[in-house]
Structures are given as C-alpha cells and as structure tokens.
Amino acid sequence: MVSTRAKKTFIGIASAFIVGVGGIVAMNAASTPPAGVGLPRNPLAPCPNQPNCVSTESADVDHAIEPLPLADTEQRTIELLASSVSELPGSRSVLTKDNYLHFEIRSPWLRFVDDVEFLIDSEQNLVHVRSASRVGRSDLGVNRQRVEEIRRRYEAALRTTTKPAEESVVTTGDTAMPDEPDEFAIIEKSDKEWRQQLTPEQYHVARQHGTEQRYTGPNWDNKDAGTYSCICCGLPLFSSETKYESGTGWPSFWDPIKETSIETKSDVSFFTRRTEVHCRRCKAHLGHVFEDGPDPTGLRYCMNGVAMQFEPSEKATDGAANTNE
C-alpha cells in the first residue's frame, strides 16, 4: 500500500509539473517579437546576447550564418523565400513589405515561437537572414538548423526556376574544353547516385556525417605537394602548403584554399558543440574545425582523408619523372 504521505508528495510533484508546463505553453503562446523584429529596416537587428539566434549581420562567429543568393528579380526572390518557409511545419507569414519578410514558426511541443526575418539587398545581390527564439529554448542549434533547411529548399527552387547558362568553353590549342564547374553551382544527387559513385566508407563519411578511424584514412601522413579536393564533386579545398602534422591521425590544415570553397555550421551531436566543415558545392561532410591550430590562423581543419582526393602538383609529378629517367 502507498502511504498517504507518498500520495501527497506524488500529487505535489505532478501538480508542479503541470503548472510549470502550462506556464511555459502560456508564456510562449503570449510571447511577442523582441524590439525591432517585425519592422522593415536596413540592416537587420544584430543578435542579442542569447544562444538561440543566428544572423548574417552578426559579428560573433557563433551567431553568424551565410547570406542567401538573390533570384533574377526581387519579386521572384520574395516568392521563393515565402514558398520555402511555408513548407516548414508551424510557419506563418506575419509581414511582407518592400524588401522585408517576417515569419513566425511555432513548434508543436510547448508551442515554442521563433522569428525568421529576411532582408533583400539588391545592391549586394544577396539576402540577409535572422532567426531567433523568443523564450523557453536551450541552445540546441535549432535556429541554425532551420536556416540551413530553408537555404536548401530555397536554393533547390532557385535552380529549378533559373534557366542554366550556356556552358562556356576554353580553347587550348586545337581542343575546346568546358570550364570547371562554378563552385557556387550547387551539385545535388540522389542517395542512390551517391552510393553508386562512392565506396561504402566514402559514402558513410561524406554523405552520412561519419568519421574515419584515426591513422587509417588516406593521406593523413602525406607530405607531397599537391591539392586536396572533394571526393564527391572534385572542388579544390585544401593545399599541401597549409597542411601540417597535428598528431591527431587525420589530415590537418590551418587554412582552406578559398573561404568560399567550404561552409561551416554548428554541430551539437554527441552532447558536444563543434563546428562542422562541409563542401560548399555538394555539401559533403569533410570534418570539423577547431581553434587550436598554428599561426597565422590559429585554426585546425581536421578533415577525413576518405572525404578528399589528393592530386599531386605538376612540379612534384615532373620531379618524380625526372628521378625515374
């Protein structure tokens, strides 16, 4: 038999839980946007000192995100943005005025409310973005993940509505060869196509965000001169000139070839917060970047060897050929 005291304790705890949850639901339902949100302006308000906010206007790396590209017209950009956000559960358009859009997104659990804003900048040919939670959420990277989902939907719609440009041709001697694909021309393939193209280990790391075992991947101790490119799309990512021995068992670099060749986002898996690095062109997972690298950047791009292919430089190839003569 359960004692009367135990019953009262249980009822008290249950009542406190119900009141607490009910209070959070009521607080979220009655919440209003922070000051400055929902008002057309130039530029967007910076992120406040809170974890659940990301913005293209933020000077803080933890809160910064990449802007979106512009469609062929401002009106078309508005249409694609509205369509991309409306596909998300719980989204509601609050205001569209001139070059500014404001949406609310309510989650089904405890009715958390987020504000998502877009500001179209025709002069810079891009779209600024800001996404922030109002109340009641811990720092789980929710807003950054949502913005990346909006980006994926928006860029997919942008590609289907934009007529592809005619392939440019570079003439070398008597042979006409097409240019290298633009690094900003996003490459998408079906899961089946990636599986057919990649080995099981390459697919696991690059497309499923896996990690190879240390000291087992290719090129972790490679000291030859050359370029490390994406295993999925061939985009050049890192040079041997910035590669160094980190003692980790993975290929490590202190800087990419170009900042525009890679993208980063917050990774909160395994109960830790890290910064994931992926290929900008095909979104292949490459590894993570840490702030314990050498000068001049102080960064350590810790990459998976199977996510990259090494291409020796012409000088290194010529030197090897001369040695064999």
Name the residue ranges covered by the structural domains of the chain: 31-161, 187-313
Mean pLDDT computed over 53-75: 85
Q: How far apart are CA 127 and CA 117, in angstroms?
A: 10
Q: How far apart are CA 13 and CA 310, in angstroms?
A: 60
Domain 187-313 has CATH 2.170.150.20: yes
Active site residues: 302
CATH number of the 31-161 domain = 3.30.310
Q: How many CB atoms lie within 10 A of CB 74?
A: 15
Residues 6+ apart with CB under 8 A from 30: none
Q: Of 49-53, 176-180, 236-240, 267-271, which range is least confident? A: 176-180
By CB atoms closer than 10 A (0-12, 13-18, 19+), residue 276 is middle
Amino acid 169: pLDDT: 36
Q: Where are the beta strands (DSSP E) in the chain?
A: 53-55, 68-69, 91-97, 100-106, 113-121, 126-133, 169-172, 175-178, 226-230, 236-239, 243-244, 252-253, 262-267, 274-279, 285-290, 300-303, 308-312
DSSP 14-58: HHHHHHHHHHHHHHHHH--PPTTTTS--SSPPPP-SSSSEEETT-
pLDDT classification of 10: cutoffs 50, 70, 90: low
pLDDT surpasses 70 at 258: yes
Higher pLDDT among residues 157 and 66, named by residue? 66
pLDDT tens-digit series, residues 286-295? 999 998 999 9
Q: How far apart are CA 24 and CA 135, in angstroms?
A: 9
pLDDT classification of 221: cutoffs 50, 70, 90: very high
pLDDT classification of 138: cutoffs 50, 70, 90: very low
3-state secondary structure of 300: strand
Amino acid 225: pLDDT: 94
Of 257, 293, 258, nearest in space to 275 by CA: 293
pLDDT classification of 205: cutoffs 50, 70, 90: very high
pLDDT classification of 123: cutoffs 50, 70, 90: confident
pLDDT surpasses 80 at 319: no
Cβ contact 129:56 at 8 Å:
yes
What are residue 308's DSSP bridge partners? Answer: 230
* pTM greater than the 0.85 cutoff: no
Name residue, tokens 């995100």: 65
Q: How far apart are CA 200 and CA 217, in angstroms?
A: 13
Helices (H) and strands (E) in the chain, counts: 6, 17
pLDDT classification of 124: cutoffs 50, 70, 90: confident
pLDDT tens-digit series, residues 259-286? 778 888 776 665 566 788 999 889 999 9
* Side-chain half-sphere exposure of 252, counting CA atoms within 13 A: 20
Q: How far apart are CA 221 and CA 295, in angstroms?
A: 20
Q: How far apart are CA 88 and CA 150, in angstroms?
A: 8
Q: Of 100-114, 157-171, 304-318, which range is least confident? A: 157-171
* Side-chain half-sphere exposure of 204, counting CA atoms within 13 A: 9
